[in-house]
Amino acid sequence: MYGAFLLWGWLLYAFGPVIQILGREVGFTAAQIGLHGTAMAAGTALAGGALAAVVGVLGRRGALVLGAALVAVGAAGLALLSSLPGTLTATVVLAVGGNMAIAAAQTGLVVYHSPRPADAVTTANGLGTLVGLLGPVAIGASVAAGFGWRPVVLSTVPLGVAAIVIWLRMPASRGMTPRGPRTAAAGPGPAEAGPAGGGVLRRAVRQLPPSGWWFLLAALLGVAIESATTFWALTLITERTSAGTAVAAAATAAFVGGMATSRLVSWWFTARWAPARLVVAAFGVNALGWLVLWLATSPTVAVLGLAVAGMGCGLLYPFAASLMLSTARGSKDSAQGLIMVALGVAVAVVPFVLGVLADAVGVHLAFTLIPALAAVGAVAAALGAATHRPSAPGA
């Protein structure tokens, strides 16, 4: 299941620089570039809405395989198409696939490592982010060498095929459930495997306690900050530091590197502090890194700011999402689907709004949206901790 994070991480963190460069090639406006964030969000929401039904019919193994196949198809479309409708459609397809694979894998890890899933979920996200660190670097190197960005994106296709082959050969387990009626027999039980009927998300909404909603808001804002930063950091760096496109694309890897670092050492923090307190602190670290980036006029200082911001951002989604899932009653797949729909809204709105603001007032001033989101997220995490009431055994 960790392979889903590796596959999606490779493409996800290269996506922002790719769309920025593609937009310059074909003459997209900042708002049109931002629409690709909206397309990414639409795919995220679609994956979330379909997750429980897909897992109920195909099992988590089937959801993983379907997700990887869609990632490969979407990556090929993004590399081969250049019109706005074509690139938007390809973005939706790859987002559906990537988020379906990630959601199925994350829920499987929560079930398999229950009752303390936070470390496993954060480690999986950390490994994906570590691989994602290579994406912007590869884009920058490929552009500098004169090959452009397309070979890096197309490399996702054979990676997706390899992931499918590996997952099809893996034995069934509590986390890696097979298809059809055997899903319940494989271990997790019907509630954990996720119902295939309608009303799945409505049921998840009804069963989520107040603390779960606060943690969901914190996760949503963490992903909003992550997507907006990876999406627009290249433009901010080129405008404020006069760095070339290749250098700026590679510099965005500092943000991903910071995320990977904090996720891979998260076990040290969770052994000393409660996850909810760590989420509040992580929002503060992210805001500090944003300030350094925002004030930077040299690529070196910008890289430092991105690294610090990434270290804070790296803990936001995995911790907040695992906290939300731990509060959910009933199907974990349904709750994960609700997370994906909510994240889809965040990814749809925030990069697009930042793009509209960039067209109106410039990307530097538009970037002040980030600390405002961080402040709200910190409050949400604190309220989630204050209202959390552990479920009684067997509830």
Task: Provide the domain count of the chain.
Answer: 1
Q: Which residue has the higher pLDDT, 172 or 279?
A: 279
User: How many alpha carbons fall within 13 Å on the CB side of residue 131?
Assistant: 18
Q: Is position 395 within any domain?
A: no
Q: Is position 331 within any domain?
A: yes
pLDDT 10s digits, 291-345:
999 999 888 899 999 999 999 998 998 889 888 887 877 666 677 778 878 877 8
Residues in the chain, total: 395
pLDDT 10s digits, 199-232:
555 666 777 788 888 999 999 999 899 888 887 8
Q: In angstroms, what is the C-alpha Rg of the chain?
A: 20
pLDDT 10s digits, 85-122:
999 999 999 999 999 998 888 877 777 666 666 667 77
In the chain, the amino acid numbered 294 is: W
Could you list the residue range(s) of the whole structural domain that residue 181 is in?
2-387
Q: Is position 393 within any domain?
A: no
Q: Is position 225 within any domain?
A: yes
Query: What's the confidence (pLDDT) of residue 72?
Result: 95
Nearest CA to 192 out of 46, 335, 319 is that of 335
Cα angle for residues 83, 85, 89 (degrees, 5° grid): 115
Name every residue whose Cβ is closer than 8 Å to that of residue 128 and which is 6 or more positions away in sequence.
4, 5, 6, 8, 9, 12, 102
Q: Which residue has the tokens 């040299």?
A: 298
Report, as an integer, the average pLDDT of 146-166.
Answer: 92
Q: Is position 354 within any domain?
A: yes
Q: Is position 392 within any domain?
A: no
**CATH code of the domain in which 334 resides:** 1.20.1250.20
Please report how the helices 332-361 and 316-327 are oriented relative to each other, as an axis angle in degrees rounded to 10: 140
In the chain, the amino acid numbered 266 is: S
Query: What's the confidence (pLDDT) of residue 245?
Result: 74
Q: Which residue has the higher pLDDT, 179 or 301?
A: 301
Query: What's the confidence (pLDDT) of residue 104?
Result: 86
Query: What's the confidence (pLDDT) of residue 183?
Result: 43
Nearest CA to 124 out of 2, 274, 279, 248 is that of 2
- Report the share of the chain in percent with pLDDT over 90: 29
| pLDDT at residue 176 greater than cutoff 70 | no
d(CA 72, CA 42): 18
pLDDT 10s digits, 348-375:
788 778 888 888 888 899 999 999 999 9
Q: Is position 247 within any domain?
A: yes
Q: Is position 89 within any domain?
A: yes
